[in-house]
Amino acid sequence: MRLIVHNMLQCHVKGCDSNNFPLQLSDVELEIHEIEYNHEFLQSLLTKLDWKAFVATAEQIGITSLPQTFPEEIDEDFLKKLHRILFETHIVEGKMICSNCSHEYPIRDGIPNMLLNEEELE
Ligand SMILES: [Zn+2]
């Protein structure tokens, strides 16, 4: 699971509708898979990215080089760094924990399991 995907996930347990994003990462195992850099694609995604959540998440996996607020001027080096973190860094094992209700969503073989138990469904 790439970090761009994590940035779009929130807890969906019944009644859990505040402080349910971003999910906290724990016990993660990372892999880097290089893909071609696409400037336009990255730029279009940046408008949808929740920057604050992204920075907090990156810190959880040891990436502390991102600015707390999105820089006003960005250069190609910065975009390449984002490309690396958003698209090439994969979480292959671990779990995501909701800050609000503590529900754990496991990640196995790179795939997040967002399924809930019956009593957690709406
Ligand atoms: Zn929750």
What would the pLDDT profile of 22-78 be if each residue is shown by its tens digit? 999 999 999 999 999 999 999 999 999 999 999 999 999 999 999 999 999 999 999
Whether pLDDT at 109 is above 80: yes
Q: How far is the CA of 3 from the centre of ligand 1 (A)?
A: 19
Q: How far is the CA of 40 from the centre of ligand 1 (A)?
A: 34
Mean pLDDT, residues 72-100: 96
**Pair 33, 41: CB distance under 8 Å:** no
Q: What is the pLDDT confidence band of residue 122, given thresholds at 50, 70 and 90?
A: low
**Pair 32, 90: CB distance under 8 Å:** yes
Q: Domain containing 79 — which CATH number?
A: 2.20.25.10
Range of the domain at 38: 3-120
Integer Cα distance of 61 and 28 in angstroms: 7
- Residues that place a CB less than 5 A from ion ligand 1: 11, 13, 16, 20, 98, 100-101, 103
Cis peptide before 22 (omega within 30 of 0): yes
**Pair 106, 100: CB distance under 8 Å:** no
Q: How far is the CA of 114 from the centre of ligand 1 (A)?
A: 11
Query: What is the count of structural domains for the chain?
Result: 1
